[in-house]
Amino acid sequence: MKSEKLVFSDFNQAQFELAKSLISEESLVNILSKLVDVPSPTGEEGVLASQIVELLNEFKLEGAEQKIDDLQSNAVGRIQGIKPSMFPSLLFYAPIDTVTSNNPEEDLPWIGPEMRPEMWAKSRTDGTYVYGLGAHNPKGHAACIIEAARVLRATNTPLFGDLMLGFGAGGMPTNARPGQRPDSGHGVGCDFMLSNYPKPDSAVIAKSGWSISWEEVGLIWFEVKVKGIHNYSGARHLMPYANPILDAGKLIEKIDKWLLEWPEKHRSGLVAPQGVVSFIESGWERMPSFTPAVCRFRIDLRISPRTSPDEAEKAFANALHTFCEELGIEASYERLVAIPGATTPEDAPIIQQSIASWETTTRKKHQAPKGMSGATDANILRGHGIPTARVGLQKAKIPNIDFQLGMNAVAIKDLYELTVLLVHIAISFCNKKN
């Protein structure tokens, strides 16, 4: 895209200033509070999607619900362009499911020893921050999209191309929760949306990170099973004894060291893909007197857009074989999930326009993020052939912030800044001829 195409006309500048003047921190807090107050764990986003549809229709944004099943839905909306056949359409997209469930029986003790206030689907504000489950990610991003569209509609800002709004279920990297449909996570809502709704020419996904990015990692999950021998505590000294829990611990230590080396070997572009061992299970909880015949654990391995899932699997399989030989143990593995990383060319119009809008609204020189390892529905969007830019909220600047507080607290001023940026991108992109 040539630089002159990124310059606002005087008319667009006036429209932007008018729309910007209507962006309200009070409105943002009100919208976000409504989103936070409706629990939406993966697989159960239907009630929230319905609430979003009501908000969209209140703001005359053509809201509609896309039902995936009885519990899971997307919400979509639109500002129809004046000349959609001649100008590009743009999708503003955010997922709406939370990584934890708002249910202590499901979340504890894995989230921590207790449910802290920000871990509940109950919003609160101290005038600087909004707190509550998903207040930053993903619901803060959804609130900014709704507010941006609200002010564009309220000011009747001319958009020649369609501005589409998407709020997707199943955006978290998760398999099914208890009682849920097997394919309720890993971007299922985004894929359903794109398969049952007109595809946009380009998209902006609102996800954490206050800079424009155009690529991100994929992921591959493995389950490893370490073989042992079922035995009894009272017979340990009388019969063959091979405790798979002990052997799994030795194997995990080697795998974790291998995972620590993986990012530097595959660092490129904007990404430095990471990996973790995050689940282990073995034996009878009710019967500690008996050793099990197997111990299983799971691994999340992030992969660069320049590493295919098959290439990553081969590397992991070779490492696992080597470690088992060194330890003298027997183990097998299974691939559970594979989602390739994806890239949009840096010179794509949506990337260049998003960067230009970022620099205009922040009055700073844009610096592309480095070392990213988060996977989002951007991979689904790009997999459908849609050039996609990613930008989102900054992490709250709260002392001793941890992962949960980072997900569940957001600065009101950051909500405002992201909304301003989205408005600028919409006016810029939707008013450039194809």
Of 301, 317, 339, the position where a domain reaches its end is 339
Q: Domain check: are 299 and 358 in the same one? A: no
Alpha carbon distance 289, 8 (integer Å): 73
Q: Domain check: are 230 and 207 in the same one? A: no
As a whole number, mean pLDDT of residues 343-356 equals 97
Q: Which range of residues forms the domain containing residue 125? A: 3-216+343-430
> pLDDT: is 315 or 11 the higher one?
315
| pLDDT at residue number 433 | 79
| pLDDT at residue number 10 | 85
Alpha carbon distance 379, 24 (integer Å): 32
Of 309, 339, 369, the position where a domain reaches its end is 339
Task: For residue 349, give Cα distances in angstroms to 7, 204, 220, 245.
Answer: 13, 12, 30, 53
3-state secondary structure 349-406: HHHHHHHHHHHHHHCCCCCCCCCECCCCCHHHHHHCCCCEEEECCCCCCCCCCCHHHH
pLDDT exceeds 90 at position 291: yes
Q: Domain check: are 105 and 246 in the same one? A: no
| pLDDT at residue number 8 | 79
Q: Domain check: are 302 and 362 in the same one? A: no
Instruction: Convert the pLDDT of each residue in 235-249 to its tens digit.
Output: 999 999 999 999 999
Question: What is the residue type of 191?
Answer: D
| pLDDT at residue number 7 | 60
Q: Which two three-digit tokens encode residue 430?
A: 């939707």
Q: Domain check: are 151 and 295 in the same one? A: no
> Which run of H or E residues covers position 13?
helix 10-22
C-beta separation of 384 from 187 below 8 A? no
Instruction: Convert the pLDDT of each residue in 130-151 to its tens digit.
Output: 999 999 999 999 999 999 999 9
Of 288, 312, 149, 146, which is closest to residue 221 (Cα–Cα)?
312
Q: Domain check: are 31 and 103 in the same one? A: yes
CATH of the domain at 64: 3.40.630.10
Q: Domain check: are 305 and 283 in the same one? A: yes
C-beta separation of 430 from 161 below 8 A? yes
Instruction: Convert the pLDDT of each residue in 137-188 to its tens digit.
Output: 999 999 999 999 999 999 999 999 999 999 999 999 999 998 888 899 999 9
Q: Domain check: are 348 and 286 in the same one? A: no
As a whole number, mean pLDDT of residues 290-304 equals 98
- Tokens 């909220």: give the residue: 393
| pLDDT at residue number 4 | 41
Q: Domain check: are 329 and 373 in the same one? A: no
Of 87, 4, 28, 1, which is closest to residue 422 (Cα–Cα)?
28
- State phi, psi for 355 to the nearest 5 degrees: -65, -45
Q: Domain check: are 239 and 375 in the same one? A: no
| pLDDT at residue number 2 | 41
**Percent of the chain residues topping a pLDDT of 70:** 98
Of 312, 339, 366, the position where a domain reaches its end is 339
CATH of the domain at 309: 3.30.70.360
Q: How many domains does the chain have?
A: 2
Q: Quick check: bond before 173 cis, omega within 30?
A: no
pLDDT exceeds 70 at position 5: no
Q: Domain check: are 16 and 164 in the same one? A: yes
Q: Which positions ≥6 away from 31 have C-beta within 8 Å? A: 55, 143, 146, 147
| pLDDT at residue number 6 | 63
Q: Domain check: are 264 and 311 in the same one? A: yes
Q: Which two three-digit tokens encode residue 203?
A: 């998209």
